[in-house]
Amino acid sequence: MDNATLKDRILSLVPDAEYQENKQFLTFVIPPEKLHDLALKLKQEADLAFDYLFCLTGVDMVKYLEVVYHLESTIHKHQLVLKVRTADRDNGSVDTVCDIWRTAEFHEREVYDLLGVKFTNHPDLRRLFLEEDWKGHPLRKDYVDEVNIVEL
């Protein structure tokens, strides 16, 4: 499937998705409440067959937190990026996709640990790098650590 066809296919599944021009990947901003259903279709529908989640990361965009998913179909050789923005920056949450792509389990824990995004229905959502009693999330732009951070 070429990118134009894939773009139309994604927009047929989620008409209110926002397409973003991007030189390397087809990129869509998906409403958070539609992420899990779309992810399931992306993996299960034969013409899409996105069987590989090769990157999941979080970004602090100051006004909201964003979770970014890089997907690939190893069968059809097409790639796609999905972005989901949290409605609440302070208590942001997104549905887990680790029941769809197992590799998401540790990626989601990393995003939770370093940015504070909670993943609903995650089977083991706890800090990955930092101690459980650590205060705050070090990749947030408003994070302050008087001991470890050097300011210029």
Digit-coded pLDDT (tens) for 82-131: 999 998 888 899 999 999 999 999 999 999 999 999 999 999 999 999 99
Alpha helices (H) in the chain, listed in sequence order:
3-13, 35-44, 104-115
- How remote is the C-alpha of 81 from its chain's centroid? 9
What DSSP designation does 150 have? P
* 146, pLDDT greater than 80: no
Taking the complete model, does pTM exceed 0.85, yes or no?
Answer: yes
Domain 3-94 sits in CATH at 3.30.460.80
- How remote is the C-alpha of 139 from its chain's centroid? 15
* 151, pLDDT greater than 80: no
2: left (phi over 0), alpha (psi -120 to 50) or beta: beta
Digit-coded pLDDT (tens) for 3-23: 999 999 999 999 999 999 877
**Widest CA span of the chain, in angstroms?**
52
Q: Is residue 92 within 8 Å of 98, Cβ to Cβ?
A: no
- Residue 150's pLDDT is 61
- Residue 20's pLDDT is 93
- Residue 24's pLDDT is 86
Mean pLDDT of 26-46: 97
Q: Which two tokens stand for residue 125?
A: 């959502």
Mean pLDDT of 59-67: 95
* 47, pLDDT greater than 90: yes
* pLDDT classification of 40: cutoffs 50, 70, 90: very high
Q: How far is CA 55 from CA 36, 52, 103, in A?
A: 16, 9, 9
Rounded-to-10 torsion of CA 147, 62, 89, 99: -90
Percent of the chain whose predicted confidence (pLDDT) is above 70: 97
